[in-house]
Amino acid sequence: MKMRLMMRSWRRRRRIRRTMVMMMSMRMRRRVTRRRTTMMRGSRKKRRMMMMMMMMMMIMSKRTMMLMRRRMTRRRRTMMLMMRRRKKRRRMVMMRRRTMMMMMRRRRRTGGEEEEQEGGGFGHVSIKHATKINQRAANLNESKML
């Protein structure tokens, strides 16, 4: 008797699952075709829809619910990780670029101070300009001395 009951419940569950899958696919298709733009897009909406459908049907047993949720979370977690990695990489690249820029600027700014002994290391500055800069620096130093 118990065995027969088990069989019946198993069959019913299978049928229910099949119908659910059908319904899901139907809904998804319909939603995709109709007002794609107006819908608030994104995985969160989809997730909420899925959960709502689960709640509405509630035919699924608790175990299957849990399984579904776990699977969803795993996918979501991987997505999150990927996103974070991407963000980190982007930030790293940005930082590197910024540091490069800074280095270049600094090199330009203090071009004369270190390399002055080797005959004026102002690569991109004319000699007149360089002398002017040096004069200004000397004046500053003198004023500081006083």
Q: What is the mean pLDDT of the chain?
A: 69
| Comparison of pLDDT for 47 and 66, the residue scoring more | 47
Give the pLDDT score at 25: 64
Contacts of 123 (CB under 8 A, 6+ apart): 111
H or E, element range at 116: none
Comparing 98 with 63, the larger pLDDT belongs to 98
Q: Which residue ranges make up each domain of the chain?
A: 55-108
Average pLDDT over residues 108-135: 60
Q: Which residue has the higher pLDDT, 11 or 47?
A: 47
Whether the full predicted model's pTM is greater than 0.75, yes or no, is no
DSSP three-state, residue 101: helix
Under the phi-then-psi rule, with left for phi > 0, alpha for psi from -120 to 50, and beta for the rest, what region is 60? beta
Banded model confidence at residue 115, pLDDT cuts 50, 70, 90: very low
Residue 122 above 70 pLDDT?
no
Three-state SS sequence of 65-90: HHHHHHHHHHHHHHHHHHHHHHHHHH
Q: What is the mean pLDDT of residues 68-83?
A: 74
